[in-house]
Structure 1
Amino acid sequence: MTARLPGIALAIGALVFTCVAGEAPAQTYPDRSPAMVVTFAAGGSSDVLARAVAAAMSQGLGKQIVVENRPGAGGNIGAEAVAKSTPDGYTMLFGTNGTLGIGPALHKNLRYDPQKDLVPVGMLHQLPLVLIVNPQVPATNLRELIDYAKKNPGKLTFASAGVGSASHLTTELFKIAAGIDLLHVPYKGGGAATPDLISGQVSMMLETIPNALPLVRGGQMRALGVTTKERSPNAPDIPTFSESGVPGFDVGAWTGLFVPAGTPKDIVERLNKETVRIASDPAYVAQIRKMGTDVASSSPEAFRAFVAKDVQNWTDAIERSGTKTQ
């Protein structure tokens, strides 16, 4: 029996090494700057919010998070790049409901599986959309816009952050609910649409409040309504769609953090801890609220369940609107 002790010792040593090695990622992470991929162009609401998140999380992680913009295909170009990156916690995705809620419901031939190839880390924000119109449009409220659109079918155009984005499909739902016809003009992100909105090349857009309010307050665009069932505390003077002629209309947007599938659980938990921490940071919360956005947080498990439900909701919405899956 004594002769077997060296073998047992080696086995125990190997087990101890395995346990220590398993803990190593969290203990040493991060030892270099992680990247946060934003799937829309610089200047849009997603980009602005992501940079605020990156700055706040960098303080807790002790390493500067580098923001990378990879726009195109409704956010799927950037999301696919993250899904196929090395699962070591050094490539994160600033995900939006347009890409990861609507996307899986709309796109049937993606080169990655959003629900299998990406791991939800935690929710970051929740926010309503606001309908902004160029001042040249002869409507000062939502009812007047609907009346004008009914009398002039197809004359008004609406911009979106891309086919399949929240701004696109929410407007499609609005068209159905209001019984109007609008012409879709897709762009690579909300920021890319702004110059044409200001010049009047396109009539209107459903945009998140962070990107819309500066244009409204500057007199460049007019706000007609928010898409959620209640008015936004950040813009209480803007009525809801529901109280302005489209009863029961209630659609909102969200953002959250994702990493590639296979990322060590302890790193996912480390990143989630940071998302929860910044959600209670007064300076960060004040900064986000100034953008008209609500700060949110969740566990990875709760966020996974939330995203799955959102995909199902948008699947139902796409079917009702008659939008073709791609």
Structure 2
Amino acid sequence: MSQENSPTAKKQLKDMPFSVLDLSPIVMGGTASESLQNTLDLAQHAEKWGYNRYWLAEHHSMPGIASSATAVVIGHVARGTETIRVGSGGIMLPNHAPLVIAEQFGTLESLFPGRIDLGLGRAPGTDQVTAKALRRENMSNGEDFPEQVDELRAYLKPDGSGNPVRAIPGEGLDIPIWLLGSSGFSARLAAELGLPFSFASHFSPDNTLPALDVYRRNFKPSQALDKPYAMVGVNVIAADAEEKAAYLATSMQQQFLNLVRGIPSKLKPPVETMDGIWSNYEKASVEQSLRTTIIGTPDTVKTKLQAFLDETQADEMIVNAQIFDHQERLQSYEIVSEVFKG
């Protein structure tokens, strides 16, 4: 039995960092402006409640997500907070020239020293038509992601690296790079490069343990990291009563249902029951994607988060909560912070 899975190596929630993943949800009847105001408000509360980092995700052509210009939103959040780390969860690198990302995050790190994370993914974060609009002639399928990562990292090296093209700002700055994934591809690459790895278990539960195993077994120490560091995503909808938490969670279920149907929409208000809204097939598909989602009271959340930690042996958890009402969303994140702090 490996040390990670040994009963003597059991980790406790109170001993680990916990973070926020925010998609800046645009709700039915709401605007992107309101969503971005809510994002900053949540970040300020998260900082007060002890969250470690606050990550924004890049998605495009999605009516319910306001964080498409991810670097801009990171600047908005970092400017309105003081200590919490702020970063991307992630930047979809094939959508961009690596030089542009080096300059953007070099600028962010110059403005907010020691607080910026650069999480990189290789998926488009959108459909193929939108990807073509973003990338123009460069219709990468992600296979050149390792080369793109190498190019980006080269721009961030100190002066004297011999690179004829220079990222100013960016060059020589210590910006932690994470690789993100929902399969084994980025897990293997993160291990090869000795980088921290964040897995999207909040929507790809079946691949979580295999990807973490690939990462840990193949990890090579580097200047960035001397041992594996794995963060896992988890959806948590917390409330003071089980029935209320289940009610609030129907907004997220409707969101995933619309993705299954290929008609993404703004985040819808909760409903008393999903019966009659989804078919049996759709219900099974949504529930499979959300299998690691935790819904319930503080006691339920604590029990299930600890079980998820026992299973994954993660070094950090990053929490997503797609909740329609902003005040209910704040309360959910506050409950989660209290669970982690014991």
Question: Is TM more than 0.5 here?
Answer: no
Q: Give the structure with the higher percent strand.
A: 1
TM-score, length of structure 1 as denominator length? 0.30
Higher Cα Rg, which structure: 1
